[in-house]
Amino acid sequence: MSIVRLLFVSFLYLSVGGAHVASQTHPAIVSWLINTTNITGRHYVEGNPTPITDTAKANCQLVQYSADYSYVRCNGIPGYVIGPYRDGNPAIAVGRNYLFKLPLKPAEQKAAKTAVGLGHIGVLINGVPIYNYADARSYNNANVWHQNAIYFERTGFDCATGHPAPLMGGGGGGGGTQGQYHHHQNPTAFNIAKVNMSDVCNMYLADGLYVPDSTKHGPLIGFAFDGYPIYGAYGWATGTTTVKRIPRSHQVRFLPLRSMVHHLQRKHSVRMQKTLNSLQGRVISTSTMVVFVSHLSIRKGRTHTSQPSMPVACPPIPT
């Protein structure tokens, strides 16, 4: 049985089992925001710009690793202030005592690719889960034309662009997914965005995970569950080290009424074209991948063999 080495919250250079932790350089082991001062989460409530201090410890508490995996223990609570959620969501973010397992040697899945579902698809370096683009609603609840959460749920995002999963019955934080604080989007504050989509920061200011810098490659901000790294908004232009804003890999497509009927697998439609037009870009099935407008692959990855802080031996992200 291989020895599992530990990174304790206050002893980052502890030697366990004859191996010195300081010698480890793999980003999936050393990049986490470890809570060394026992800070706890804080949140705003509607109408009160003074944060309330919570009991759950913020950021990451413990990192363990073996030869093949990194194991990250965290509560899913960030060190920045969160809340309020102005869409009527009564949920509050609660500590979840997560244990995330990440491959240290990510590799492309050779078999049929697996589509991610709702909920967790990765984790930020502060232990907060990353959700995919969608919320739980789809057209006629038929599991087609899923709503773009970034558009439909934006009134419920806090200044740091996160929110907890809503209550599904019961109260408090409860079990299941309710109370799981998460991000669907770039974890930076609304008030520093190029396009400010919310005024929530005016009264309930928060930092977010990082501040984008147009002069530098974006920092490593998290990992997808397949082990591939996630970086901030700025990266290297393909084949160079020139820094540029990495554009999205999808753009809105035009869908005539007949296409909508076919796509929804309906034999008739009472929808008018103007209804379809109003949905463009707001539901994910109205977007299409256009590789030439982006430096990302069809699965939102880079095709470089390495990025800053990642081992050169890390295989290229699938195209």
116-128 mean pLDDT: 89
pLDDT at 93 over 60: yes
CA distance 295 to 110: 23
Instruction: Write out pLDDT tens, residues 206-233.
Output: 999 999 999 999 999 999 999 999 999 8
For residues 117 and 204, the model is more confident at 204
pLDDT at position 179, please?
A: 87
| Cβ pair 151, 133 in contact under 8 A | no
pTM of the predicted structure, to 2 decimals: 0.77
Mean pLDDT, the chain, rounded, equals: 75
Instruction: Write out pLDDT tens, residues 156-179.
Output: 999 999 999 876 544 333 345 678
pLDDT at 113 over 50: yes
Angle at the Cα of 151 from the Cα atoms of 213 and 207, rounded to 5 degrees: 35
pLDDT confidence tier of residue 196, bands split at 50, 70 and 90: confident
Asked if residue 74 is part of any domain, the answer here is yes
Asked if residue 262 is part of any domain, the answer here is no
pLDDT at position 119, please?
A: 82
pLDDT at 280 over 80: no
For residues 312 and 53, the model is more confident at 53
Asked if residue 269 is part of any domain, the answer here is no
Asked if residue 270 is part of any domain, the answer here is no
Number of domains in the chain: 1
Asked if residue 76 is part of any domain, the answer here is yes
Task: Give the residue numbers spanning the domain of 11.
Answer: 5-238
CA distance 138 to 145: 5
